[in-house]
A and B are shown apart, each in its own frame.
Chain A
Amino acid sequence: MKTKNRFVNQILGLLALATVLSACEKDNRAEPKSVLKGRVVFNGEPVGVRSNGVQLEIWQRGYQLFTKIPVYVNQDGTFSASLFDGNYKLVRLRGNGPWVDNTDTIDVQLSGTQELDVPVQPFFVFENETYSKGEGKVNATFNLKQINTSRNLERVNLYIGTTTIVDPNNNAGNAQEVAANITDLTKPITLTATLSAALAGRDYVYARIGVKTSGVGEMLFGKPQKIMLK
């Protein structure tokens, strides 16, 4: 039994040595150094989306495996991806973002760091957003402008959160108005969210408005606004 143990120990030692030695070897490929940065824009303005919800696809042909590189869009409409230099095709995945489907490919010749604006056409956008605080309340007033009439409005929401990441999944309170109650888009819409006791006692909260188009999964958002309560 003892000899066997010693034998096992020797093997283990050898294995450990092999691991250490092989780990010292350098990777044979450098990490991607080029960066593709960009924004998803409408009329030159970035489009606010849900954090971790909306993605763009990057494809590269010419290799054996043809796999998409998903690039998630940050909630402020920016994105970035570390890539190798080369020719890529950027695609706006159908049915993914709060905008009209557009499957036109955008060619990207990447060498070094590059900035890119990805144009989209939303169904609705916000205008003239103003936020104000009341007694234990936060108000948002804004105009809704319909950009594309192929789909109808479903609802608008005002989300309140304790961090800058505010959306349907990350919020501490919210107010909602459904489309049936919004008859005239030329008039400003006001949403009032009542703060819970815990929220009202804080120094500040973040507020953010979002609009949901029916038949489209994702919502389009305004910029998160810090509201000082004290």
Chain B
Amino acid sequence: MQRFTKYILACLILILSGCAEQWLDRKPQNIILEEQVWNDTKMITGLLANYYDRLPAHTSLTTGWAEFAAYDEAMWSNNDDGRNNIVSYPFDRWRLWDYGLIRDINLAIENIETFGTSLSAGQKAQFSAEFRFLRAFVYFELVKRMGGVPLVTKQLIYDFNGDPSYLQQPRNKEEEVYDFIASELDAIKEQLGNDGSNTRANKFTAMALKSRAMLYAGSIAKYNNLMASPISTPGGEVGIPASRAADYYAKSLAASEEIINSGKYSLYKTNPNLGENFYDAITKKSANAEVILAQDYLVSKDKRHGFTYDNIARNVREDNLSSSSITPSLNLVEDYEYLDGTPGTLKTRNAANTDYVYYDKMEDVFANKDARLYGTVIYPGTSFRGTPVQIQAGVKVWNNASGSFQNVESNTLGATYDDGGLLTGSSGPQRSQTEVTNSGFYLRKYVDQTAMSSTRGIRSDMWWVRFRLGEIYLNAAEAALETGKTANALKYVNVVRERAGFGANSLKTLTIERLQNERRVELAFEDHRVWDLIRWRTAHEVWNGNASNPDAVIYALYPYRVVRPGHPTHNKYVFDKLVAPRFRAPRFFQMGNYYSSIDQAIIDNNPKIVRNPFH
């Protein structure tokens, strides 16, 4: 009986206390409500971090990094030959239709107004501005791949009436999207805050995006209409009238000059060794006033990536697998000029092309080259992390009877020849092996120098630079040149060249071709090459799929040690240029690649979406 009373008592307590605390109305422990998010600056910042992290990139250190090996900057020397054998770029290669992210940002912009009751007006304005920056960034990524896309700036809500057609928005004109980006960035730039930050957007980050976007719009307006048959759709979803070019270039120049003249940023010039300095300019994460916006990583917080593991030079790798994936091409190496301004073609044969040029040391063939070559590429005779990267294909043994050299190569890395000297370098190159360079070069830019960063256990926290002042100078130079302000263009491009070891005012005249090459060498492996060729409308000529077009084929450079005892050339080095042995199909960019195809499912859902040309 006593026990029974106890139970009743217990039940009563439960029921009563439950009622008092509204047992059924408790706040959930696993769902964060809108009111909670939009009144807590920490949570809003967390959300922002998520959106920054989701910003699209074609190639970065984490997203699509392997595609650096799919153009003419590099080839692929790891396992599989996919990127060396791209018969033609598929029409959906650069496809992007990330309205999931656009919607998330639109929701954020609306919800911070609706629910952010305890935020100050200033805080609200700043966060909204940052969301709008991110949205402009995403729209730029969309327009540069797809042409005009529907500009959706509010959340679309379905009312379940059975007819969704009122939600189906047609594509905006290509120029309208670029105009939207420009007006958004102008509207928010003063509200962004984040002064001095290089991982969150501030006023100058907005201007950096505007500088790039307006330059793209201007060059599409100009160069598309110079084509034998301009790419366009009747509704202007693709193609910008030529008359808009000057306006876009002027806007780009103004945005670039706002950054340059602000004095907040400066080219990185801390290291007296110019080659090392250029590497540091992109990879040093502290005291670097050049970087405007970067995607940062941190090993201790488990925010890290395997880019160094996959791309470090073979004989300095710390893991027992991978390495050597992206290996720069001879094409890129030769595009770095000599410091006296002459074209960068490597002198491997004598003037009459009857004999090799013999070098005492391997690095001598690269002497007096643009310092950016060292900062971008590991070439024969250089080191990484203080360890020499041994790149030697084999030896050339002189045959007195035939009066010619015979190649001796070994497929054992680091093998020794009969004379006791080195036969094959511990970093290759190898003609058919994987995980060792096939082109004779290794990547330096973005490969981490930190010890153990090439192991799978630790990995790397190298950051990915989205905008830096070096690009802004080149944007300014191009926009100035295209609008006839050649003196200004020369001023800006020469600043960038001076940092690379060219003297002050190294260029006296400027052509667009020269500037195009300057972008190629300064911004290699920074996700610019393919987009630059697309906006200049030269991609289909540079990569025309023709095996006899040297630009469409990846070349390699194989160093050999001469074995000719008793002769002055004995133990000197010679170089063979050859089509990279593992390279298969010449790069082939078709007209239908200028704008990526739109997924059929999207057209099915919204018949107002017009197809891109050639698809």
Name the CB-closest residue of B to A65. B604
Say whether chain A's binding surface is mostly helix, strand, loop, or mixed.
Answer: loop
Interface string of B546-576 (1 = CB under 8 A from A): 1110000000000000000000000000000
Q: Are B228 and A168 in contact (CB under 8 A)?
A: no
In the assembled complex, the Cα of A168 lies from the Cα of B229 at a distance in Å of 22
Instruction: Kindly provide the distance from the CB of B586 to the nearest chain A CB, expressed in whole angstroms.
Output: 7
Indicate with 1 or 0, residue by residue over B595-615, a CB within 8 angstroms of chain A CB atoms: 000001001100100000110
CB-nearest residue of chain A to B607: A66
Within the assembled complex, what's the spacing in Å between the Cα atoms of A155 and B182? 42
| Beta-carbon nearest neighbor of B86 in chain A | A169
Interface residues of A in 70-84 (CB under 8 A from B): none
- In the assembled complex, the Cα of A214 lies from the Cα of B540 at a distance in Å of 11
> A168 is contacted by which of B540, B545, B607 (Cβ under 8 Å)?
B545
| A67 near B614: Cβ-Cβ < 8 Å | no
| Surface stretch bound by B, among A23-31, A92-100, A135-143 | A92-100
Partner of B88, one of A96, A157, A169, A174: A169
Asked whether B591 is an interface residue with its Cβ less than 8 Å from the other chain, the reply is: yes
Interface centre among A168, A175, A216 (most CB of B within 10 A): A168
Residues of A within 8 A of B227 (CB): 215
**Contact of A95 with B229 in the complex, beta carbons under 8 Å:** yes
Residue in B548, B586, B600 whose Cβ sees the most chain A Cβ within 10 Å:
B548
CA gap between A217 and B89 in the complex, in Å: 13
Given known contacts A176-B548, A215-B228, is B604 in contact with A67 (CB within 8 Å)? yes
Within A193-230, the residues touching B (CB, 8 Å) are 214-217
A168 touches B614 (CB 8 A): no
Give the residue name and chain of the A residue nearest to B229 (CB).
A215
Cross-chain contact B613 with A168 (CB below 8 angstroms): no
Query: A53 — which chain B residues lie within 8 A by C-beta?
Result: 88, 590
Is there an interface contact between B591 and A95, defined as CB atoms closer than 8 Å? yes
| Chain B residues whose CB sits within 8 angstroms of the CB of A176 once the complex forms | 546, 548
Compute how far the CA of A217 lies from the CA of B87 in the bound complex, rounded to whole angstroms. 15
CB nearest neighbor in A for B552: A168
Distance in Å: Cβ of B578 to nearest Cβ of chain A: 13
- Alpha-carbon gap, A16 to B591, bound state (A): 49
Q: Is A169 a contact of B585 with CB atoms below 8 Å?
A: yes
Say yes or no: A169 contacts B604, CB within 8 Å: no
CB nearest neighbor in B for A67: B600
Residues of A near B87 (CB, < 8 A) are: 52, 169-170
A interface residues, how many (CB within 8 angstroms): 22
Within 8 A of B (CB), among A95-146: 95-96
CB <8 Å contact, B600 and A169:
no
Q: From residue 53 to 68 of chain A, which have CB atoms closer than 8 A to chain B?
A: 53, 65-67
| A164 interfacial by beta-carbon distance below 8 Å | no
For B547, give its contact among A95, A168, A215 (CB under 8 Å).
Answer: A168
Cα(A123)–Cα(B544), bound, Å? 19
Q: Does B336 contact A (CB under 8 A)?
A: no
A214/B548 in contact, CB under 8 A: no
Q: Is A151 in contact with chain B by the CB < 8 A criterion?
A: yes
Q: What number of A-B contacts does a CB cutoff of 8 Å give?
A: 54
In the complex formed, the residue of A with least CB distance to B231 is A95
Name A96's contact: one of B585, B588, B614 (CB within 8 Å). Answer: B614
Name the prevailing secondary structure of the B interface residues: loop
CB distance from B164 to the nearest CB of A (A): 14
Tell me if B591 and A168 are in contact (CB < 8 A).
Answer: no
Chain A: minimal CB distance from B87 (Å): 5
A96 to B87, CA, bound (A): 17
Shortest Cβ gap from A67 to chain B (Å): 6
Closest chain A residue to B611, Cβ basis: A68
Complex Cα–Cα for A215 and B230 (A): 9
CA distance A106 to B314 in the complex (A): 58
A217 touches B591 (CB 8 A): yes
Q: How far is the CA of A55 from the CA of B614 in the complex (A)?
A: 10
A190 at the interface (CB under 8 A from B): no
Cβ of B228: which chain A residues have Cβ within 8 Å of it?
151, 214-216
Taking CB atoms, residues of chain A closer than 8 Å to B544 are: 168
Interface pair B586/A217, CB less than 8 Å apart = no
Report how far A157 CA is from B586 CA in the complex, Å. Answer: 15
Are B546 and A168 closer than 8 Å at their CB atoms?
A: yes
The answer to whether B547 and A94 have CB atoms under 8 Å apart is: no
A168–B604 CB distance below 8 A: no
A171, CB-defined interface residue at 8 Å: yes
Give Cα A157 to B544, complex, Å.
13
A169 & B548 in contact (Cβ 8 Å cutoff): no
Tell me which residues across on chain A come within 8 A of B604, comparing CB atoms. 65-67
| Complex CA distance for A214 and B226, rounded to whole angstroms | 13
The residue from B586, B591, B614 contacting A169, defined by CB atoms under 8 A apart? B586
> A169 vs B587: C-alpha distance in the bound complex, in angstroms?
9
CA distance A81 to B592 in the complex (A): 23
Within the complex, the shortest CB–CB distance from B609 to chain A, in Å, comes to: 12
Q: Which residues of A contact B548 (CB under 8 A)?
A: 157, 174-176
In the complex with contacts A168-B546, A169-B88, A95-B540 CB distance below 8 A:
no
- Name B604's closest neighbour in chain A (CB-CB): A65
Q: How far is the CA of A52 from the CA of B590 in the complex (A)?
A: 13
B88–A217 touching, CB < 8 Å = no
B390 CB to nearest chain A CB (Å)? 31
**Which residues of B from 526 to 547 have beta carbons under 8 Å from A?**
540, 544-547
A217: B residues at CB distance < 8 A: 540, 590-592, 614
B1 to chain A, nearest CB (A): 39
Give Cα A151–Cα B229 distance, bound, in whole angstroms. Answer: 10
Apart from A94-B613, A151-B228, A214-B228: 12 A-B pairs, beta carbons within 8 A: A52-B87, A67-B600, A93-B614, A95-B229, A95-B591, A157-B546, A169-B87, A170-B87, A174-B547, A176-B548, A216-B228, A217-B592
What are 5 sample pairs from A and B whose C-beta atoms fall under 8 A apart? A95-B229, A95-B591, A95-B592, A96-B592, A169-B88
Q: Which residues of B approach A to under 8 Å, CB–CB?
A: 87-88, 227-229, 540, 544-548, 585-586, 588, 590-592, 600, 603-604, 607, 613-614
The 5 A-B pairs with the shortest beta carbon distances in the complex, nearest first, are A215-B228, A217-B591, A168-B545, A169-B87, A176-B548
